[in-house]
Amino acid sequence: MRYFLVEKFGFPNDSILMLTEDETNPLKIPTKENIRLALRWLVQGCQPGDSLVFHFSGHGSKQLDNDMDEVDGFDETLCPLDYETRGMIVDDEINATIVRPLPQGATLHAIIDACYSQTVLDLPFVCRMNREGLLYMGGPNSFTL
């Protein structure tokens, strides 16, 4: 992903923070706390016109929704390396950390390669495409193309 962002899209190398389990630096291992810090780092100082990329490849899951804000009754989660001892990162927290703080005019590109990730940003709408290519946007401003 780093190569793609730097070489193909011109992102400065020092504007990319990667957490991997192969890291020797303990601050760059994808623990729950490090992922939380990285999410806050991503949006810190964000301005209109900025283009942000959040990429997660790992395990995802779901858990019962305690605050009753999910239609299906489940929160989607990302599973950090230490999720068995520290817990998962819930979609409500992800939304509060990297979606809601974005200023108007900033763009967040989220690439989530994990189970149950379809609504992990907890956005107020869902985009679906059927087999005929018909696009449906569900939410407060629903429409079909």
- Residue of 46, 55, 109, 115 with catalytic role: 115
Residue closest to 92 by CA, chosen among 136, 62, 58: 62
Q: What's the mean pLDDT in 6-18?
A: 94
Q: What's the mean pLDDT in 46-55?
A: 96
Q: Report in angstroms the alpha-carbon separations of 36 from 68, 75, 79, 93, 98.
A: 23, 17, 12, 9, 10
- Residue of 55, 59, 79, 109 with catalytic role: 59
| pTM for the model | 0.86
Question: Does the pLDDT value for residue 27 go beyond 70?
Answer: yes
CATH topology of domain 2-144: Rossmann fold (3.40.50)
109 is catalytic: no
Which residue in the block uniquely carries the two structure tokens 């509060």? 96
